[in-house]
C-alpha cells in the first residue's frame, strides 16, 4: 500500500524530549561550527540546527541552545562565520561542543572578511551579520544576513543521523 504509515506506531503519552529526539533523529542534518573573532581571540560552538532561510535578502538561520555560554559572546560581536563541517571533521564537531576548553587548540583557520575564523578544510563557509533573533523555546532562533561565502564542491558533508555520524553514499562506495 503506497504511502501507508501502518508500520509506524505513534508514541504513547506526552511528547517528551526523548520522544522528540527519537522521532526527529530520523532527519539527517549537517553539522556547523559558528565562529567569531571576540575581544580575547577566536570563539565558536557546534550547532546542528542550521539552514538556508532566504535568497533575497540572503539569510541563513541556526538555533543555539539557551544554555550556550558562547552564543551570547558572539551575539555581542554581531559578525560571525558559519563553517559547514566536512566528512572528516568529527573532531571539530566534538571539540567545539565542549565547554571550558581551548576550542581552537590545534585547529587551523584563516579569517573570513569579517575576521571570524574559517576552519581549514570545511565544505563551505558563510560570513554573516546578526539580522534578528526569535524565541525558540529552549533555543534561540538566529537569522543572519550573508555577507560573503565560499564552498569546496569536492568536500563531502559531515552528517548527523540517529545520534551519530554517518557517511554519504558517495563515501561508502
pLDDT of residue 170: 63
Q: How far apart are CA 87 and CA 171, in angstroms?
A: 9
CB 23 within 8 A of CB 30: no
* pLDDT lower than 50: segments of the chain: 1, 4, 173
> In the structure grid, which three cell numbers stand for residue 113, read together?
572578511
Degrees to nearest 5, angle at CA 153 with 151 and 157 = 85
Q: Which residue, chain included where needed, has cell 517528551?
A: 16
As a CATH number, domain 29-172 is: 2.30.110.10
Backbone angles phi, psi at 62, to 5 degrees: -155, 165
Q: pTM for this structure?
A: 0.86
pLDDT of residue 8: 61
Asked if residue 52 has a cis previous peptide bond (ω within 30° of 0), the answer is no
The strand pairing partners of 11, in sequence order, are none
pLDDT of residue 58: 98
pLDDT of residue 7: 58
Over residues 40-55, the pLDDT tens digits come to 999 999 998 999 999 9
CB 153 within 8 A of CB 165: no
- Spans of all domains in the chain: 29-172
pLDDT of residue 111: 98
pLDDT of residue 18: 84
CB 147 within 8 A of CB 126: no
pLDDT of residue 1: 44
Over residues 103-121, the pLDDT tens digits come to 999 999 999 999 999 999 9
Amino acid at each position: 500500500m503506497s504511502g501507508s504509515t501502518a508500520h509506524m506506531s505513534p508514541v504513547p503519552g506526552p511528547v517528551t524530549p526523548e520522544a522528540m529526539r527519537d522521532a526527529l533523529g530520523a532527519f539527517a542534518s549537517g553539522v556547523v561550527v559558528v565562529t567569531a573573532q571576540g575581544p580575547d581571540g577566536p570563539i565558536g560552538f557546534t550547532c546542528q540546527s542550521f539552514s538556508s532561510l532566504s535568497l533575497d535578502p540572503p539569510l541563513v538561520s541556526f538555533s543555539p541552545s539557551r544554555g550556550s555560554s558562547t552564543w551570547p559572546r558572539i551575539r555581542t560581536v554581531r559578525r560571525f562565520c558559519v563553517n559547514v563541517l566536512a566528512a572528516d571533521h568529527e573532531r571539530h564537531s566534538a571539540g567545539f561542543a565542549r565547554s571550558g576548553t581551548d576550542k581552537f587548540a590545534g585547529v587551523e583557520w584563516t579569517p573570513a572578511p569579517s575576521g571570524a575564523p574559517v576552519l581549514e578544510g570545511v565544505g563551505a563557509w558563510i560570513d554573516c551579520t546578526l539580522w534578528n533573533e526569535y524565541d525558540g523555546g529552549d533555543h534561540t532562533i538566529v537569522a543572519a544576513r550573508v555577507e560573503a561565502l565560499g564552498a569546496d564542491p569536492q568536500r563531502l558533508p559531515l552528517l548527523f543521523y540517529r545520534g551519530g555520524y554517518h557517511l554519504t553514499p558517495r563515501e561508502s562506495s
